[in-house]
Amino acid sequence: MILRALERQTVKDFEVIIAEDDEAADTVDYLAKQLVRMPFPILHVCQDDKGFRKNRILNKAVAVSTGDLIIFLDGDCIPHRKWLEEYSSQADKNVVLSGRRLMVSETLTQTLLRTKKLSYLSLIYQLRYGSNNLEEGIYLPFYRRPNISSLLGCNWAILKKHLVAVNGFDEDYMSPGVGEDLDIAWRLAGNGIMLRSMRHRAIVYHLHHRAHYCTGDVVPNYDIMRKKQALSSVYCLNGLDKHLPKK
């Protein structure tokens, strides 16, 4: 469904990089078939499944990307058809763009997975099936966006050069939360890259699933981040550079 949603984007000049743990044969076979059918190139990067190493696979994805603008989307989120257009139109130096997400109900998620019909993403069905954060699914491109205080790792965009300047994601974070959003946000801000809201413009629909971690799992990451902030260095030591092609 994500690939189909990307296929119907109003912007057509882009590449898709799928980054994941493991390299399942059925995934490889599926992507080989989709590569022939889809109007955009698909790259596949993977790593051994050795626990939570999201920052590492994100860095690998950034390293193989060829575009100037990087847009992040989690594997449980389906983008609005104007998603790429909005990010592309707002991309600028010294800004990091962050959208929000509508939380699709469990019942509607099951309906989507069963039928594969993207028409069920409409607000009418979201309301009927009891989805949450409905206001985040309203597309209002001329709405005056209020400032936001946080970056959502499932839906954001930035010029690649700004990620390179802070050495991408810090791979010292080995458990969920903080490392893939809060940490990268404060390091970008420390480098003069400020957060800009894409609320009501860059919309994604987050499918329902069981939580992968609890609040307590995040606590050690806050401790790691505070120690790093105390060092006042926005360039992480364990990051993107080791994945980039050698010059």
State CA 94 to chain mean position distance: 19
Q: Which of 93-102, 173-182, 206-215, 224-233 comes out lowest in average pLDDT? A: 206-215
Give the pLDDT score at 169. 98
Give the pLDDT score at 79. 98
Q: What is the pLDDT of residues 78-126, one digit of tens each?
A: 999 999 999 999 999 999 999 999 999 999 999 999 999 999 999 999 9
Residue 145 clears pLDDT 90, i.e. is over it: no
Banded pLDDT at 41 (limits 50, 70, 90) = very high
Give the pLDDT score at 126. 97
Q: Check if the beta carbon of residue 105 is closer than 8 Å to that of residue 200.
A: no
Q: What are phi and psi of 42, to 5 degrees?
A: -125, 125
Give the pLDDT score at 173. 95
- Per DSSP, the residues of 162-209 read HHHHTTSS-TT--SSSSTTTHHHHHHHHHTT-EEEE-TTTSEEEEPP-
Give the pLDDT score at 216. 73
Give the pLDDT score at 11. 96
Q: Check if the beta carbon of residue 77 is closer than 8 Å to that of residue 154.
A: yes
Q: What is the pLDDT of residues 170-191, one digit of tens each?
A: 999 999 999 999 999 999 999 9
Which residues are 24's β-sheet partners? none
Q: Give the closest residue to 188 by CA, choosing from 95, 54, 88.
A: 95
Q: Give the closest residue to 111 by CA, choosing from 208, 193, 181.
A: 208
Instruction: Assign 246 to helix, strand or coil.
Output: coil
Instruction: Assign 72 to helix, strand or coil.
Output: strand
Residue 148 clears pLDDT 90, i.e. is over it: no
**Over residues 222-232, mean pLDDT:** 95
Residue 48 clears pLDDT 80, i.e. is over it: yes
Tokens of 191: 């480098």
With pLDDT > 70 as the criterion, what percentage of the chain qualifies? Answer: 99
Q: Check if the beta carbon of residue 167 is closer than 8 Å to that of residue 235.
A: yes
Give the pLDDT score at 144. 72
Give the pLDDT score at 147. 75
With pLDDT > 90 as the criterion, what percentage of the chain qualifies? Answer: 85
How many Å apart are CA 184 and CA 219, to the nearest integer? 17
CATH fold, domain 2-102+135-204+212-243, is Spore Coat Polysaccharide Biosynthesis Protein SpsA; Chain A (3.90.550)
Q: Give the closest residue to 34 by CA, choosing from 61, 58, 6.
A: 6
Q: What is the pLDDT of residues 129-139, one digit of tens each?
A: 999 999 999 99
Average pLDDT of the chain, as a whole number: 94
Is this structure's pTM higher than 0.85?
Answer: yes
Instruction: Assign 74 to helix, strand or coil.
Output: coil
